[in-house]
């Protein structure tokens, strides 16, 4: 990622810090042990930005590493609401590890995280969620809210009444789809769903359409312009404790059979970008960086 001009320029002129974690990448990609996550966190803390530089924005490549968000959240010392933009809910309860499909549950285990609000999924992860070990108890309690970009109601067996934005009717969770005509109304309503002064924003670019980004995963239908509108609105009403961005495509290279098997089972991670698609992520990142310059102190 640091080879992308928008990021490289900031590293070269001292506006950004590059932490070389390539040696840790094989032990972090897709799934990570507690030891690997602590190694990541220790390295980040040791190379942290000087005090007074404002909220940190962390870019860390492929969505295969999205569980690094949970480690970044461990650094906070005040209550925070996590606003999660993603084509996948990342809410799987099994296995109980740090992995890119379950990191939301690791975040909800932190005392400082009061709620996670997931915005934008279109993926099949929402279909028959109980069979996919989704954390629907967090939905029922209100600690997790999910607002798909577009998805039909999800068949469930248990009772999860009272879930904001996803009432249960006739054995189905009826999601509030926020794409299309409802997007302006959702932007207006979202602040009422946030009870903390501070928010953390995490963006997986697979929430974007294939015209806007190229990733390792199946993608949604949001645009960068809609992400910008969302972040700009939130920044005007809440204090941003930090942000992280993942979802840039990178080739999957695994050294151990376990991760190779996980990758083989995941058909969505096999997309190889075309030559033209490679230009999408630097352009998207340049627009995001301009936004962060605008909204962050």
Per-domain residue ranges of the chain: 58-295
Structure tokens at 17: 């810090």
Question: How many angstroms separate the CA atoms of 77 and 111, rounded?
Answer: 9
Q: Which residues are CB-contacts of 13 (< 8 A; sequence separation ≥ 6)?
A: none
Which residues contact residue 12 at a Cβ distance below 8 angstroms, ignoring those fewer than 6 apart? none
Q: Are strands 113-119 and 80-85 parallel, antiparallel or unpaired?
A: parallel
- The three state secondary structure string of 46-66 is HCCCCCCCCCEEEECCCHHHC
CATH 3.30.70.270 matches 58-295 = no
What gap in Å lies between CA 186 and CA 171, rounded to an integer?
25
pLDDT of residue 182: 94
Predicted pLDDT of residue 227: 98
pLDDT tens digits for 66-112?
Answer: 999 999 999 999 999 999 999 999 999 988 889 999 999 999 999 99
Q: Is the pLDDT of residue 261 over 80?
A: no
Q: What pLDDT is recorded for position 258?
A: 63
Grouping H, G, I as helix, E, B as strand and the rest as coil, residue 80 is strand
- pLDDT per residue as tens digits for the range 15-32: 899 999 999 999 999 999
User: What percent of the chain has a predicted confidence (pLDDT) above 70?
Assistant: 92
**pLDDT for residue 49 is more than 80:** no
Q: Flag whether pLDDT at 250 surpasses 70.
A: yes
The span from the CA of 192 to the CA of 188, in Å, is 8
pLDDT at 172 over 70: yes
Model pLDDT for residues 282-292, shown as the tens digit of each residue: 999 999 999 99
pLDDT at 271: 64
Would you tell me how many other CB atoms lie within 10 Å of the CB of residue 19?
14
């Amino acid at each position: 990622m640091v080879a992308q001009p928008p990021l490289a320029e900031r590293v070269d002129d001292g506006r950004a810090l590059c932490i070389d974690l390539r040696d840790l990448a094989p032990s972090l990609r897709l799934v990570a042990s507690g030891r690997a996550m602590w190694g990541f966190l220790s390295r980040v803390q040791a190379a942290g930005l000087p005090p007074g530089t404002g909220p940190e924005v962390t870019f860390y490549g492929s969505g295969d590493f999205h569980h690094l968000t949970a480690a970044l959240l461990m650094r906070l010392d005040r209550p925070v609401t996590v606003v999660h933009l993603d084509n996948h809910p990342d809410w799987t309860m099994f296995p109980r590890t740090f992995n890119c499909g379950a990191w939301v549950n690791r975040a909800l285990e932190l005392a400082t995280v009061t709620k996670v609000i997931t915005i934008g999924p279109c993926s099949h992860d929402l279909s028959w969620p109980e069979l996919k070990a989704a954390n629907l108890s967090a939905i029922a309690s209100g600690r997790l809210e999910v607002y798909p970009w577009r998805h039909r109601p999800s068949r469930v067996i248990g009772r999860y009444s009272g879930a904001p934005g996803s009432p249960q009717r006739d054995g189905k969770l009826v999601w509030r789809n926020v794409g299309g005509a409802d997007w302006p109304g959702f932007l207006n309503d979202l602040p009422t769903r946030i009870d903390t002064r501070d928010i953390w924003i995490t963006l997986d670019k697979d929430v974007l359409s294939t015209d806007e980004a190229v990733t390792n995963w199946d993608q949604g239908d949001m645009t960068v312009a809609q992400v910008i509108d969302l972040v700009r609105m939130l920044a005007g009403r809440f204090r941003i404790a930090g942000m992280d961005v993942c979802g840039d495509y990178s080739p999957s290279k695994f050294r151990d059979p376990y991760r190779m098997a996980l990758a083989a089972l995941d058909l969505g991670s096999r997309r190889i970008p075309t030559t033209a698609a490679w230009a999408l992520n630097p352009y998207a990142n340049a627009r995001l960086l301009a936004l962060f310059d605008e909204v962050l102190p």
